[in-house]
Amino acid sequence: MCAFRELDNQSRIQEAARLFREARYAVALTGAGISVPSGIPDFRSPGSGLWEKYDPMEVASLGSFLAHPERFYDWIRPLLSVTRAAQPNPAHVALTHLQEMGLLNEIITQNIDGLHEAAGSRDVLAVHGHTRTATCVQCGQKMSAEPVWEAVERGEVPHCACGGVLKPDVVLFGELLPHDVMERAQRAAARADLMLVAGSSLEVVPAADLPLLTLAGGGRLIIVNKGPTQLDHRATLKIEGDVAEVLPAIVGVLRQPA
């Protein structure tokens, strides 16, 4: 059972602040839910999740991309303008403030949108890759992804000078996570005595298993999410709510005299 289930949200926010003050090494794990207030749709919410409209294995798997890259780019094209225009929201900014206060170390994110970096956060570990660069599937050349997205917006499948298709450096289904980034994330999670999970349903492994490393080391878990996660019963604190409201509220309490 969650240790603080009986508390109202304001009391939980106070309790979250206390846990941050007590922590020696805190990290955060963020998912799609932290970017929803910035206008970027998530994948699994009923009625709005992207996977309610598309089969991920048909549009966003590595095998599908290699066989039919046009399907991937047709799928991502409508999202492109939304993602590229998105700005950090108060939840992203709150995590940056926690880092500036010396209360938060690495931010491990399942998101590819770069909004943590845009908010000024440091030590961001994007375990599912990012959209800043792209790689040719034929010759392996890596380059800035800006020409890729310009081609996609024109309705084209982007190609390298060698003729190969360019793939953004995001992790597709059936593709390995970047080894060095995932290794750093695992070390951070294992070292942490407090992990904040923000806006993640904890359904996509192996990233969703990172809180287990913190728990295995005797660390505590704070979960802020709309809807249940598979680790609610093991969390020291679960706050059901909008991350763009809850995280700034926690920062607000921490800025008050202890």
99: region left, alpha or beta (phi > 0 left; psi from -120 to 50 alpha): alpha
- What the block records as the tokens of 65 is 């991309």
3-state secondary structure of 31: coil
Cα–Cα dist 188/108, whole Å = 9
Give ∠ CA 94-207-92 in degrees, rounded to 5: 15
Cα–Cα dist 33/42, whole Å = 6
**H or E element at residue 90:** helix 90-100
Cα–Cα dist 52/229, whole Å = 19
The string of DSSP letters for 153-167 reads: HTT---B-TTSPBEE
Q: Which of 86, 87, 109, 105 has its CA nearest to residue 96?
A: 105
Residue 97 annotated as catalytic = no
Judged on CB neighbours under 10 Å (0-12, 13-18, 19+), 243 is buried
Cβ neighbours of residue 187 under 8 Å, at least 6 residues apart? none
The catalytic residue among 116, 128, 159, 179 is: 128
Kindly list the catalytic residues: 128
